[in-house]
A and B are shown apart, each in its own frame.
Chain A
Amino acid sequence: MDTHIQVKNLNVYYGKQQALKNVNIEIPKKQITVIMGPSGCGKTTLLKSFNRFLELTDGTQITGEVLVDGQNIYDREVDVTEVRKTVGLLAQRPSPLPMSIYDNVVYGMHIHKMKKDRKEYKAAVRHYLEIAGLWDEVGKRLHDPATGLSIGQQQRLCLARGLAVEPEIILGDEPTSALDPISSQNIEARLLDLKQQYTTVIVTHTLRQAKRLADHVIYMYMGEVIEAGPAKEVFTNPKHERTRQYLEGLF
């Protein structure tokens, strides 16, 4: 297994409350890893430690290391904007920026000055909207406000916006929980399409979604990683009693 993200002795505190307890895990490259567990177990905290989003909350303390391609992203000299460019995030609720569809996709590319001229930007916008499966629906109204899209379309737009800055890792924080079943399916299909090219980490609280998507599973409970491993093994033959109970739906 080729490791992309390695977490070493990670502890996270929100004020006095400990949200992650001594987490040590490895996330494989170009596969879908699903983090699951009951609500409040630290899934989202673990996910947001990968793009340094935890520090956006006042009073968060972090110890330990998160290595992306062997580089600890919490090192002093690391540029946080580079980390977030490499590690994209698809949020729980779609959050289109209050601008046009085109401007949403082009936003990150402009920030990082990734293309030379308008023509290149236009081509890139089309490219990423196609990848996100949205081009056919919005190609003719790129300059309409993004907030006019349906919520499912908005989430795919956010996916396109995230992919446009050429990340290597996609994080998804329950990316379908706000969506209707058809839109959810659509997003899941995109994620499966993309896993050849990106390392994907998804937080979910629905077991069925975990089973549909996961190559690799992390099961968490009360801020600790209880079990982690290939999806086949964990789902068919969990090593821990707690994981078994969760999979059987006992809590």
Chain B
Amino acid sequence: MSQSEPILTLENTEGRTTRPSVAPRIRQDQRAQRIFFVITLLPVFLIVVVTIALLVRAWPILQAFPLTDLLFGTVWKPSEKMFGFGPFILGTLWVTVVGVGVAVPPCLLAAIYLAEYAHASTRSFTKPVLDLLAAIPPVVYGVWGLLAIVPFVEDVLAPLAKRWLGGVPFLAVNQPTGFSILAGGIVLAVMIAPLVISVVYEIFLTVPNDLRHASLAVGSTQWQTIRNVVLPQVTPGIVAAVVLGASRAFGETIAVLIVVGNVPQVPTSIFDSAYPLPALIANNYGDMMSIPLYDSALMGAALVLLVVILIFNILSTLVLQRMLRRKWA
């Protein structure tokens, strides 16, 4: 940039009646600010663009069939023009619910322990390790599931359930292999645990110590204090953390598709195989594209996935932001 223009000085503003023009370096600063602003907004544009693109690409299938037929149809035979997402949506829901169900109780207890009981030294060791768990690539979790969890379900859990839980709904053993919703759920539970623990932990830290001390001062135990004073304060945050974990589980693809069996059926038991939405897209996009509407149907599946995850995320983020911003007098 040329420095020929003089910088604003006292002398050259003297006697002026109009406002002095803004110095070039200030103008440059403003220009830079605008550029940063646009760059910051890019991700927002991206979400909008992706949503619109998916909508456009899914349009043919949305026009060909009523939305209810797509969402609730249970038959997936693209070659016969049957595109029911039902089995895939249900598969995703089953895996997510089992994953969240397995993950939440231990995560909650771990977060309570870390936030309320653990010594500072324990905390400073445990927290980074938990965060590290979140950095393990999903495919590694998938392989671990394939080598450890699928056999475990097949050889241990399924026989146990067959023996003791015969008549219990959702627990019937209908198939011989361990490639099942339960295996997917267990793998997902381990994957979302670091996220859920660390969000719940953060939420517990928002409760001021004054409240804990007020409760302890009248002679309540630490658990009574947590139960009666701390937990009621953090319940919305815990729900939000669980929803956030669920949205992560909902979209998880590779780790689940390795262990879940990928059979497009309506599941009736956690020991059944399933075929979640992300697996459907990942396994099939690019193949058999000559079938009419097939491409559009997969885009529709992606759209459903995106919309559900966006809703989950927005809701939980709103709640969490409010809680973390909460200031106490």
Q: Which residues of A contact B (CB under 8 A)?
A: 51, 53, 56, 58-59, 81-85, 88-89, 91, 93, 95-99, 107-108, 111-112, 158, 161-162, 164-165
Contact = CB atoms under 8 A, between A and B. Distances in A.
29 contacts: A53-B216, A53-B217, A56-B213, A56-B216, A81-B220, A84-B216, A84-B217, A89-B213, A91-B210, A91-B213, A91-B214, A93-B210, A95-B210, A96-B214, A97-B229, A98-B211, A98-B232, A98-B233, A107-B218, A107-B228, A108-B218, A108-B219, A108-B220, A111-B219, A111-B220, A111-B224, A112-B219, A161-B218, A165-B218
Given A98-B232, A98-B233, A81 B219 contact: yes
A107 B229 CA distance: 10
Interface of B: 119-120, 209-211, 213-221, 224, 228-229, 232-233
Given A98-B233, A111-B219, 10 more contacts: A51-B217, A59-B120, A81-B220, A83-B219, A95-B210, A95-B213, A111-B218, A111-B224, A162-B218, A164-B218
B119 to A, nearest CB: 6
A249 to B, nearest CB: 32
Contacts of B218: 84-85, 88, 107-108, 111, 161-162, 164-165
A99 to B, nearest CB: 8
A59 B214 CA distance: 21
Contact of B221 (A56, A81, A93): A81
Which of B209, B213, B218, B224 gathers most chain A CB within 10 Å? B218
B305 to A, nearest CB: 39
B215 A162 contact: no
A157 B216 CA distance: 16
Contacts, number: 65
A123 B283 CA distance: 70
A230 B169 CA distance: 76
B219 A95 contact: no
A83 B209 CA distance: 20
B119 A58 contact: yes
A95 B213 CA distance: 9
Which of A51, A59, A97 gathers most chain B CB within 10 Å? A97
Contacts of A82: 219
Nearest to A83: B219
B213 A58 contact: no
A119 to B, nearest CB: 22
**5 closest residue pairs by CB, A with B:** A108-B218, A85-B219, A95-B214, A84-B219, A95-B210
A165 B215 CA distance: 12
Given A97-B229, A107-B228, A111-B224, A89 B217 contact: yes
Which of A58, A111, A162 gathers most chain B CB within 10 Å? A111
Nearest to A93: B210
B219 A58 contact: no
A3 to B, nearest CB: 23
A158 B221 CA distance: 18
A107 B120 contact: no
Contacts of A89: 213, 217
A162 B211 CA distance: 14
Given A85-B218, A88-B217, A108-B220, A95 B211 contact: yes
Contacts of B211: 95, 97-98
A108 B218 CA distance: 6
B217 to A, nearest CB: 4
Contacts of B214: 91, 95-97, 158, 161
